[in-house]
Amino acid sequence: MHSELELLHEAFPERPEAGPALSRILLDQVADGRRGPTVRLSRPGRVVAFGRRDTRSRGYAGAVASARECGFAAMERLTGGRAAAYSEGTLSLTLTTPDPDPGRRTGRRFEEAADLLRAALASLGVDARIGEIPGEYCPGTYSVSAGGRAKLAGIGQRMVKGAAHVGFVIVVSGSDRIRAVLDPVYRALELEWRPETVGAVEDEVEGAGLDSVEAAILDQIASQVSLRPVALDRGTLELAETAAPKFRSPG
């Protein structure tokens, strides 16, 4: 990991598609040297984020409609994977770093990022483990779970020439809300999964909340690198707002 990371907290709960738009802009800025390595820890609000394979599914339109019927916005994510959901009890963590040859270090970035989150959750008392749970939503080798039975976080990655973006969905509370929206979404996409694998940090540690999980993550990062809080400049914010419609699900 780099010696210093810029820290952003910008979120767009009323227009969540601006989140992946901003992530793409930050990725391009880091790649061409206009911005240093950056971490963004934010609270996106209610939205289902669809992966590229979802958007090509014959059930995509129905899945989007199902999400909206449940009171969730729908957007298309920057990274790969299948549908995942954010709610009021969910955090988004992204790490964007320069790399002249990002493809060579794909696995290493996954491992380091997943272990960072595992350590942060373990510091709160979670039996945090890395690895896919059979039947989990948005399955992945580097998912972070509670005891290998309840998924707490998923991770994805996107690369461009000169930089890489790693992003997490972290469910802190409201596992029932995530389960309730993903059930009809996955039925529409004709994907098999086990709703009981959805977990949340508060299910494992009584009293855990967004503030305590956010603090644990930042403490873990700060134990390895220097963090420098910065405000998002107006130009970058305007670019994100302009690009946001490209990430909004149709319908």
- Model pLDDT for residues 40-67, shown as the tens digit of each residue: 999 999 999 999 999 999 999 999 999 9
Please report, for the chain, the start and end positions of each structural domain, with discontinuous segments joined by +.
4-247
pLDDT band at 218 (very low <50, low <70, confident <90, very high): very high
Q: Which residues contact 4 (CB under 8 A, 6 or more apart)?
A: 36, 37, 225, 226, 227, 228
CA–CA separation, 9 and 26 (whole Å): 13
How far apart, in whole angstroms, are the C-alpha atoms of residue 143 and residue 199? 12
Res 244 pLDDT > 70: yes
Q: Measured between alpha carbons, how far is 19 from 16 in angstroms, rounded to an integer?
A: 6
The reported pTM is 0.96
Class of domain 4-247: alpha beta
pLDDT at 135: 97
Inter-residue contact 168 to 93 (CB < 8 Å): yes
Q: pLDDT band for position 169 (50/70/90)?
A: very high
Q: Quote the pLDDT of residue 247.
A: 97
Task: Decide: 151 and 178 in contact? Cβ < 8 Å.
Answer: no
Q: What is the mean pLDDT of residues 86-112?
A: 97
What span, in angstroms and rounded, lies between the C-alpha atoms of 247 and 149?
32
Percent of the chain having pLDDT more than 70? 100
Tell me the mean pLDDT in the region 118-138. 98
**The two structure tokens encoding residue 55:** 């958007």
Tokens of 91: 């955090």
For the cut 70, the answer to whether the pLDDT of residue 1 exceeds it is no
